[in-house]
Amino acid sequence: MATDVRFVLEESFSNEISARSISKQKGEFASLLEFAAFGVVESWPRRVLVINLINTSRFGLMSVDLTSTVQLRSGNEMPVMGLGTWLLTRDTAETVLYAINLGYRLIDTSSDYGTQPGIGEAIRRAGVDRESIYITTKAEETDDSYLRTISNLKELGLNYIDLMLIHRPPATGAGEDLWEGLIKAREEGLVRDIGVSNYSISLMDRLIEASGEIPAVNQIEWSPFGYSWKMYDYCADKGIVIQAYSPLTRTRRLNDEKLRRLAKKYGKSPAQILIRWNLQLGTVPIPKANQKRHLEENIEVFDFAISEEDMNLLNGFNEYYSSLGWSLQYLEKAA
Ligand X SMILES: NC(=O)c1ccc[n+]([C@@H]2O[C@H](COP(=O)([O-])OP(=O)(O)OC[C@H]3O[C@@H](n4cnc5c(N)ncnc54)[C@H](OP(=O)(O)O)[C@@H]3O)[C@@H](O)[C@H]2O)c1
- Report the catalytic residues: 113
Q: In this chain, which of 55, 116, 149, 219 binds ligand X, going by CB under 6 A? A: 219
In the shown chain, the binding pattern of residues 136 to 165 toward ligand X, with x for contact by CB under 6 A and - for none, equals ------------------------------
Quick check: 84 binds ligand X (CB under 6 A)? Answer: yes
For residue 158, what are the CA distances in angstroms to 117, 147, 265? 10, 15, 44
Smallest separation (angstroms) from ligand X to the CB of 252 = 8
> Of the listed pieces 51-59, 185-193, 233-241, 292-300, which binds ligand X according to CB under 6 A?
292-300
Which CA distances in Å does 216 have to 1, 71, 103, 134, 242?
Answer: 23, 10, 24, 14, 9
287: contact with ligand X by CB under 6 A:
yes
218 binds ligand X (CB under 6 A): no
Q: Any idea what the Cα angle at residue 33 is, between residues 29 and 36, rounded to 5°?
A: 150
To ligand X, the closest distance from the beta carbon of 60 in angstroms equals 25
Element (H, E) at 43: helix 40-43
B/e letters for 135-174, b = 16+ CB within 10 Å, e = fewer, are bbbbbbbebebbebbeebbebbebebbbbbbbbbbbeeeb
Tell whether residue 120 is a contact of ligand X (CB under 6 A).
no
**Would you call 283 helix, strand, or coil by DSSP?**
coil
Interface with ligand X by CB under 6 A: which range of 63-71, 143-151, 246-254, 260-268? 246-254
299 binds ligand X (CB under 6 A): no
Residues that bind ligand X (CB under 6 A): 84-86, 108, 167, 197-198, 219, 245-251, 254, 269, 271, 286-291, 294, 297-298
